[in-house]
Chains A and B, each alone.
Chain A
Amino acid sequence: MAGSDVATDASSAPDTVKILIAGGFGVGKTTMVGSVSEIAPLRTEEPLTMAGLGVDDLDGIEEKRATTVALDFGRITISRDLVLYLFGTPGQQRFWFMWNDLALGALGAVVLVDVRRPESSFAAIDFFERRGIPFVVGVNGFHGDHPYPPEDIRDALAVPEHVQVLLCDARERESCRDVLIALLDQLIATAVQT
């Protein structure tokens, strides 16, 4: 082995970055990851005991997933030397202990909102706001319907002016791509001001 340090680099390996797709349970996070990912979304299941949850805390979690929490993710190759990963955050609030780890080193986040029950994503918005993690809001129309203009939804969510609110369809690749681009444009605008 060359070098004194344990080999901590591989020059042929690409750089990696990540973006989180967050929001309440069933808002379309996994769907969005699948729509833009170049690979079928991958999934890992983490044993909950590892995260220090007692068995009592497992009451009420979907029966078949009683002992694990699933993590969905996808991949977009940006260039030969840069790969973007998209991680869908576990929806239920009891899994939020995982969010801190997930958010560490993320470029930013997309908070997906189900237009029919926006309140299910309030907690996700709080999470990113409190930690100063940049995010955009994607309003998933479900039946392809967008009954409210983005400004009404912005008011309902009480997100600040600099946070973009976009109407989208989690099933459509182009639509999801545009939400990600909006996030990057927002990040770039902030970086230019810094």
Chain B
Amino acid sequence: MGGGDSAGRLVRPFALTGGRTRPSRADFTLIATVTAVDPQPVAAAPVQPEYTRILRLCAEPLAVAELAARLDLPVSVVVILLCDLLEAGRITVRPPRLVSRTTPDLDLLKKVRDGLGRL
């Protein structure tokens, strides 16, 4: 890849979103996990191949950041596509564990600590 296509890289991903640059919902943070609904609802299938690729990749739960990396698309683009899929009832999303500084979750911290100890 040469340096010459750098302008093209800016534009192309957002062509997939029909020019939308902002997500319609805030659910899809970097480590939210996305899972394809199985079986898929019987409805008009979205035609864009990216939707199909996303659904295939998240047949098993997958974090938004991982999905973006595997699709080789910016997170900001993938999130917009995920909003479409969520609204079409094709995926579910699980938010990350809440981390509170005022009331830390000791049990969670110990679990992570023990897991690291086993590495």
Count of chain B residues with Cβ under 8 Å from any Cβ of A?
57
Interface residue range, chain A: 35 or more
Q: Which residues of B contact A9 (CB under 8 A)?
A: 92-94
A47 touches B109 (CB 8 A): no
Q: Does B46 contact A (CB under 8 A)?
A: no
Q: Which residues of B contact A192 (CB under 8 A)?
A: 106
Q: Which residues of A contact B111 (CB under 8 A)?
A: 78-79, 82
Q: Which residues of A contact B44 (CB under 8 A)?
A: none
Pick from B29, B68, B93, B103: contact of A8, CB under 8 Å: B93
The answer for the CA separation of A105 and B32 in the assembled complex, in Å, is: 11
Known A8-B92, A18-B96, A73-B65; contact A177-B33, beta-carbon cutoff 8 A: no
The answer for the CA separation of A134 and B97 in the assembled complex, in Å, is: 17
Q: Which residues of chain A from 88 to 114 have a CB within 8 Å of any chain B CB?
A: 101-102, 104-107
Q: Does A151 contact B (CB under 8 A)?
A: no
Main secondary structure of the interface of A (DSSP, over half): mixed
| A positions within 8 Å CB-CB of B | 1, 6-10, 12-18, 36, 42-47, 49-50, 63-64, 66-68, 71, 73, 75-79, 82-85, 87, 101-102, 104-107, 132, 134, 173, 177, 180-181, 184-185, 187-188, 190-192, 194
Sample of 15 further A-B pairs with CB below 8 A, known A8-B92, A17-B99, A42-B66? A8-B95, A9-B94, A10-B93, A13-B35, A16-B31, A16-B63, A17-B31, A47-B13, A47-B76, A49-B10, A67-B10, A75-B63, A77-B115, A78-B111, A132-B101
